[in-house]
């Protein structure tokens, strides 16, 4: 079986899981392509996939240059010093978790627009910390309203919704349910390979799936 055949079969199986869980409700699939080569993104384009997600800025930036037709979304943590770079290539950012980062991305998008590196404002999702431990990324419920207000008041960011990753050992269902409540009127980006059905049942609009589509991480 060729690589494109593998990807085609994995996409079909994953979409079948989504359809079974979602029924008539539309749920978007965002394949996570971290650690996989740019050639895989080219194959995904051939299969009709137009959007993928990456975790690391340097890798994502390189793939954006290699495969400019693919829309690449940033789902990993973003260092403030990398905000200008992310603002140039990202189709969206799912991991905004601080006022400092929001302001840095806003400035970065303004610069990217001025230089012609992008033509639209940047859609963003605010990453919610389910357990209040912001060391792993995420904004606490207490600080979420202030961050929402800051993004909405920005000149170059477009608030799309919330993103959440359940902490290890925590029941994901109530995590997703609470995120759904907090994202009322907005989108929810939640659920990966292992907990996709639970996330969809609790109202997720976007699922981020890596290994089930891309297969094991390539050996270095």
CB 215 within 8 A of CB 4: no
What is the per-residue pLDDT across 158-191, written as a single tens digit (0 to 9) for each?
A: 999 999 999 988 999 999 999 999 999 999 999 9
**Token couple for 4:** 């494109």
Q: How many CB atoms lie within 10 A of CB 169?
A: 6
User: Which fold does the domain 3-213 belong to in CATH?
Assistant: TIM Barrel (3.20.20)
**Token couple for 82:** 């990398």
> Whole-prediction pTM value?
0.96
CB 18 within 8 A of CB 27: yes
Domain ranges of the chain: 3-213
In the predicted model, is pLDDT for residue 132 greater than 90? no
Q: Is 102 helix (H, G, I), strand (E, B) or coil?
A: helix
């Amino acid at each position: 079986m060729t690589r494109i055949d593998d990807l085609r079969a994995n996409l079909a199986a994953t979409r079948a899981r989504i359809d079974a869980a979602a029924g008539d409700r539309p749920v978007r699939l965002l394949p996570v392509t971290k650690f996989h080569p740019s050639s895989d993104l080219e194959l995904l384009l051939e299969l009709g996939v137009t959007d993928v997600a990456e975790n690391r800025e340097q890798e994502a930036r390189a793939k954006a240059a290699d495969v400019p037709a693919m829309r690449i979304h940033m789902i990993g943590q973003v260092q403030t010093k990398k905000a200008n770079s992310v603002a140039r290539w990202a189709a969206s950012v799912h991991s905004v978790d601080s006022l400092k980062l929001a302001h840095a991305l806003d400035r970065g998008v303004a610069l990217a627009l001025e230089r012609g590196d992008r033509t639209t404002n940047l859609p963003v999702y605010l990453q919610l910390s389910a357990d209040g431990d912001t060391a792993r990324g995420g904004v606490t419920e207490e600080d979420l309203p202030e961050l929402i207000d800051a993004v909405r008041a920005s000149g170059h960011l477009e608030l799309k919704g919330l993103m959440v990753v359940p902490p290890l050992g925590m029941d994901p269902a109530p995590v997703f349910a609470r995120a759904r409540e907090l994202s009322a009127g907005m989108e929810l980006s939640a659920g990966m390979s292992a907990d996709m059905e639970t996330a969809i049942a609790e109202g997720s609009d976007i699922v981020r799936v890596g290994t089930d589509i891309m297969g094991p991480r390539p050996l270095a």
